[in-house]
């Protein structure tokens, strides 16, 4: 029988992000402080574009979007937002929702597991995820608890625990 294992991934439920974006757009259309500012938020390919007549309104709409993401249990570590830039008469802000663990981030997590984790735990990088295996399930649970206590600058989820 194979050793017990689990996968460390960084995935985002696109439907939840879409719902948060739609709620933000609806709020921008109805809130008094966004009236007449031309504030809007929409998808542009894989990124989210926020437009408004003033720089502060862009930042305020981004805050509303972040609030909606948090309510839907989506980590803000997956959101990478730029600064508002002037484009003609309006300001634009582009934000992306990142998925997957980059190779360098996977190596950071693997290094933490090797240094601080129990003996006999083996992390392996597999594409945009990390598989961790060990002889005992207790060791895997200890690794999960240790990683939850660590503060990485990217979101982690634990899947396929068997």
- Judged on CB neighbours under 10 Å (0-12, 13-18, 19+), 11 is middle
- Residue 151 pLDDT more than 90? no
Average pLDDT, integer, range 95-110: 90
Instruction: Please name which of 139, 118, 130 lies closest in space to residue 158, comparing C-alpha atoms.
Output: 130
d(CA 58, CA 154) in angstroms, rounded, equals 24
Q: Give the DSSP letter string of 109-122.
A: HHHHHHHHSPTT-E
pLDDT 10s digits, 32-82: 988 888 899 999 988 999 999 989 999 999 999 999 999 999 999 999 999
Average pLDDT, the chain: 90
What crossing angle do the helices spanning 55-71 and 14-30 adopt, rounded to 10°? 130
Tens-digit pLDDT profile for residues 115-150 = 998 888 999 998 888 999 999 989 999 999 999 998
Give the predicted TM-score (pTM) of the model.
0.83
Tokens of 142: 């200890």
Structure confidence at residue 160 (pLDDT): 85
Q: Looking at residue 36, what is its pLDDT?
A: 82
More reliable by pLDDT, 92 or 3: 92
For residues 4-28, average pLDDT: 92
In the chain, the domains with their CATH numbers are: 5-11+101-159 (3.30.70.860), 14-97 (3.30.70.990)
Give the pair of three-digit tokens for residue 97: 């929702």
pLDDT in tens, 19-37: 999 999 999 999 998 888 8
**What does the pLDDT read at residue 62?**
95
């Amino acid at each position: 029988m194979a050793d017990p294992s689990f996968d460390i991934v960084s995935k985002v439920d696109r439907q939840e992000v879409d719902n948060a974006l739609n709620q933000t757009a609806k709020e921008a259309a109805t809130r008094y402080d966004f009236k007449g500012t031309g504030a809007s938020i929409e998808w542009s390919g894989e990124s989210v574009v926020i437009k408004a007549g003033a720089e502060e309104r862009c930042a305020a709409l981004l805050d509303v979007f972040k609030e909606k993401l948090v309510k839907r249990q989506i980590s803000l570590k997956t959101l990478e937002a730029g600064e508002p830039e002037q484009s003609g008469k309006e300001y634009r802000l582009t934000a992306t929702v990142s998925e997957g663990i980059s190779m360098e981030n996977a190596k950071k997590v693997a290094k933490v597991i090797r240094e601080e984790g129990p003996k006999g735990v083996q992390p392996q990088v597999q594409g945009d995820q990390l598989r961790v295996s060990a002889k005992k399930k207790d060791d895997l649970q200890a690794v999960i608890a240790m990683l939850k206590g660590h503060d990485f600058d990217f979101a982690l989820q634990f899947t396929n625990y068997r």
